[in-house]
Structures are given as structure tokens and as C-alpha cells.
Amino acid sequence: MSSATLSPHLTVAGDAIHIGATRYTVLHLATEHYHHGWTGEELLRQHPDLRPEEVYAALADFDDHFEELVPAMQESAVRAEAARPLRSRPMNG
């Protein structure tokens, strides 16, 4: 993705798209939106340090790159589950 296609509220740092100069990435907010069903308003409540235009720019970017970001979120969730200690994993059965 070229930086020319980004909103002025998003920046490229390495291989991630960040929301402004914050530590948040588009993938982070997209994951909360996708997996938890959080709306833009809920994301703003959960992250009061973000401005509305930043949250909505991230959600717009997620929508624009949905086909790329959903597999990345799923891969990240699999890695996180594999990294969890065995005792904190749910019991089967």
C-alpha cells in the first residue's frame, strides 16, 4: 500500500500502519472492531487518547483492506493462542 492512499491521520512505520503518532495500529483497532463488535464510539471510549477522526480513518482503512487484514488478524490470534501458557487455556470436554 502506498502512503499516497493513506488518510492524513494514518502513518506507515515499518510494515504497520499506525494511527497518527500513537502506538496504535490499524490492525489493533480493526481487531477490536471485528472480534468484539466495537463501534467507532466504543473504540473512542476504550481509547480516550484517540480522536474521532483517527478512529474513523482506521476503520475506513480496515474496510478498504478487509481481505488483507482479516487473515492477518486470524494469524495473529493463532500465534497469541499458541504463546499462552497451557494452564490458562480452556479445558476440552
Domain contains 77: yes
Smallest CA-to-CA distance from 8 within 63, 56, 47 is with: 56
Within-domain flag for 30: yes
Residue 7 lies in a domain: no
Report the 10 Å Cβ neighbour count for 49.
10
Which grid cell is 84? 499462552
For range 1-27, the mean pLDDT: 83
Higher pLDDT, 81 or 18: 18
In a domain, 63, yes or no: yes
**Res 8: pLDDT:** 92
Looking at the structure of the chain, the number of domains it has is 1
Residue 90 lies in a domain: no
**Parent domain of 71:** 25-84
On whether the CB atoms of residues 10 and 2 are closer than 8 A, the answer is no
CA–CA separation, 32 vs 49, rounded Å?
16
pLDDT for the residue numbered 24: 95
Instruction: Say if 64 falls within a structural domain.
Output: yes
State the pTM of this model.
0.76
Least confident segment among 38-42, 63-67, 86-90: 86-90
* Mean pLDDT calculated for residue range 64-81: 88
Query: Tell me, what DSSP letter sits at residue 28?
Result: H
Cα–Cα distance for residue pair 72/66, rounded to 1 Å: 10
